[in-house]
Amino acid sequence: MFGSTTTTLALALFVTTFPAVRGQYTWPDPKYEELESLRWDQIGLGSTFLELGLTGSCTAFVGGSNTGRANAADWIRTAYHDMATHNSEDGTGGLDASIRFPEEQARAENAGDGFLDTFNFLSAASDRFVSYADIIAIGAIIAIESCGGPEIDFRFGRIDATEPNIPGVPEPRQTLDEHIASFRKQGFNQSEMISLIACGHSFGGVQHTAFPDLVPELNDTTNTQSAVHFDTTFTNFDNNVAKEYIAGTTLNPLVVGSNDTTNSDKRIFGSDGNVTMNAFAADENLYANICAALFARMLDTVPSGVVLTDVVTPIPVKPTQVELIHHGDGTLLFNGGSLRLWNVPVNTARAVNASWTDRAGVESPSVVLRHTSGMYPSASIVVNETSAVASFRFVVSDDSSVAAQTFTMPYLVLLSDTSCRLSNTIPSAWNLNVAVRKGTIPSRIYATRLNVLPAPTVEYAEYDIWTVLILSDDDTFNSYGISYELDGKTFEVLTSIVSVASVGLCA
């Protein structure tokens, strides 16, 4: 197969880089891989900082010194309040990160600072691949799953609103009829309304600071928010919210609050004669299954016209952080990155080797990758620019199927490490250089700044090494991704993050 010409190899490569159909995932697809990682790399090596938001603990609150609250509950409530502006009749609103706008946060229906805290924390994981709305959805999933909840389907493709949505989040003082109408508008019928609230109110509670009329100030140094919780196990997912309600022992302030006008959970939970709550109290698996389905529907409630992907499933054998970098001296640097094996048991006897094949079909001697978890760091080697690396593969001692999988290496457009900054001090203007293989003529190459949406783009000029001068004011501490368009398709250069801090001084 490696006897084929460069052109055929390149064609095959480009057809598969950004597959139109998600089910046919082929490495590399940086966007899909990043979202898959955010969704699935929850613990241990390779995990994202999202798990740090929970500081490994469902009781933690990062973002202030107040106690009695937890990030997990805030993240779930944020997703619901962002979605709750959906109007299924005209297709507006939904999970679109409009909750980030101060105008929405200032509304009485969004009392409390949990939305601002949540957004400040989660938005740092957003970049040119990941919308704010997708990261809000992932945040809710991580919170629920990490804290005892069921597995929830995650799809991506949410698009961020550019302005606040029309109000629509339910409030405790509204009547049952208003709540039924409100949930119908959001796309949920009465039994689904009862269920979704019983699912969400497995976490957290009502805080005096946000709702001074609903709960008293407690003067408790271990609960400075003066939060009165929905059930006794308010930092993890379980059916106690239903059990305690049915047993009549609940302290849920939306059930036993002194002012019946604001006892919305009481009115809603009892609105079908307790049929749903009785079933939830009796069967924790039923509760978990219904919650998983409804949470997924809640997260997938998006403005009309937004098309979500298929469910993101773990990639079983996943090369990560593989790079091929142009040196300018006739060689390339091949960074083998790491191999992630999905959810494999710890096996200290497992032997993992990597090897790569050049364009003439010659395979390198294999390199032993040492690790005992599912993440196996590989080697970096300098390779001949002419023959370079055409593909690579792994041999895993306890899974013979892995060796059959060959990963084709893109090599037509590369980051060049001739990229350099123009002065010795930072901030500094700098040249971002991209190496384009002779004979390849992209219609466009552009740099996209990470962490800023929508991403500004910068066009390049020359052939072979295409250079963009990036001014210090723009981006001193920001990073760029590099994209290019060839034959009407868009691709990513595998070295996805470059910043002025990562390049040397120009000669």
Ligand X SMILES: *[C@@H]1O[C@H](CO)[C@@H](O)[C@H](O)[C@H]1NC(C)=O
Q: Which of residues 365 and 439 has its CB atom nearest to ligand X in the complex?
A: 365
Taking residue 89's Cβ as centre, other Cβ atoms within 10 Å add up to: 9
The residue from 203, 280, 392, 460 that contacts ligand HEM (CB under 6 A) is: 203
d(CA 456, CA 460) in angstroms, rounded, equals 13
Question: Is 238 one of the binding residues for ligand HEM (CB under 6 A)?
Answer: no
Q: Is 380 a residue that touches ligand X (CB under 6 A)?
A: no
Residue whose C-alpha is closest to residue 55's, from 146, 149, 148, 150: 146
Q: What SS3 class is residue 435?
A: strand
Nearest alpha carbon to residue 100 among 163, 167, 52: 163
**Residue 259 interacts with, from ligand HEM, ligand X, none (CB under 5-8 Å by kind):** ligand X
Nearest residue (CB) to ligand HEM, 104 versus 492: 104
> Roughly how many angstroms between the first and final C-alpha of the chain, as a whole number?
42
Bridge partners (DSSP) listed for residue 434: 415, 466
Q: Does 270 bind ligand X (CB under 6 A)?
A: yes
Q: By CB under 6 A, is residue 122 in contact with ligand HEM?
A: no
Interface with ligand HEM, residue 118, by CB under 6 A: no
Q: What is d(CA 322, CA 325) in angstroms, rounded to the nearest whole number?
A: 10
What mask, x for binding ligand HEM by CB under 6 A, covers residues 292 to 321? Answer: ------x-----------------------
Contact 148, 235 (CB under 8 A): no
- Stretch binding ligand HEM (CB under 6 A), from 159-167, 198-206, 375-383, 481-489: 198-206
Element housing 264 (H / E): helix 264-269
Decide: is 266 part of the binding site for ligand HEM (CB under 6 A). no
Binding residue for ligand X, selected from 6, 174, 182, 190, defined by CB under 6 A = 190
List CB contacts of 13: < 8 A, sequence separation 6 or more: 408, 410, 412
Residue-wise DSSP of 363-409: BPPPEEE--SSSEEE--EEEEETTT---EEEEEETTBTTGGG--EEP
If binding is defined by CB under 6 A, does position 179 make contact with ligand HEM? yes
Query: Is residue 114 close enough to count as binding ligand HEM by CB under 6 A?
Result: yes
Q: 190 or 309, CB closer to ligand X?
A: 190
For residue 386, the partner it binds in ligand HEM, ligand X, none, with Cβ less than 5 to 8 A by kind, is ligand X
Instruction: Check residue 175 for interaction with ligand X (CB under 6 A).
Output: no
Using the contact rule CB under 6 A, the part of the chain among 73-81, 326-334, 391-399, 448-456 near ligand HEM is 73-81
Residue pair 393/319 in contact by the 8 Å Cβ criterion: no
Number of residues near ligand HEM (by CB under 6 A):
26
Q: How far is it, in rounded angstroms, from Cα 171 to Cα 210?
A: 13
Q: Which residues 348-367 are close enough to bind ligand X by CB under 6 A?
A: 353, 365-366
481 binds ligand HEM (CB under 6 A): no
Q: For 448, phi and psi rounded to 5 degrees?
A: -120, 130
What b/e sequence results for 381-410 when a residue is b if at least 16 CB atoms lie within 10 Å of its CB, and e otherwise? eebebeebbbbbbbbbeeeeebeeebbbbb
| 336 makes contact with ligand HEM (CB under 6 A) | no
Q: Is 273 in the site for ligand X (CB under 6 A)?
A: yes
Please pick, from the candidates 100, 158, 201, 318, the single residue that binds ligand HEM as defined by CB under 6 A.
201
Q: Which residues pair with 339 in a beta bridge?
A: 319, 376
Count of residues touching ligand X (by CB under 6 A): 26
Indicate whether 3 belongs to the interface with ligand X (CB under 6 A): no
Measured from the CB atom, is 123 or 274 closer to ligand X? Answer: 274
Select from 261, 304, 380, 405 the one that contacts ligand X (CB under 6 A): 261
Q: Out of 252, 264, 391, 416, which residue is the one contacting ligand HEM (CB under 6 A)?
A: 264
Q: What HEC string does 91-149 produce?
A: CECCCCCHHHCHHHHCCHHHCCCHHHHHHHHHHHHCECCECHHHHHHHHHHHHHHHCCC
Choose, by CB under 6 A, the member of 172, 257, 336, 442 that binds ligand HEM.
172
User: Interface residues with ligand X (CB under 6 A)?
Assistant: 173, 189-192, 213, 216-219, 246, 248, 259, 261-262, 270, 273-274, 353, 365-366, 368, 384, 386-387, 395
User: Interface residues with ligand HEM (CB under 6 A)?
Assistant: 69, 73-74, 76-77, 80, 112, 114, 170-172, 179, 196-197, 199-201, 203-207, 210-211, 264, 298
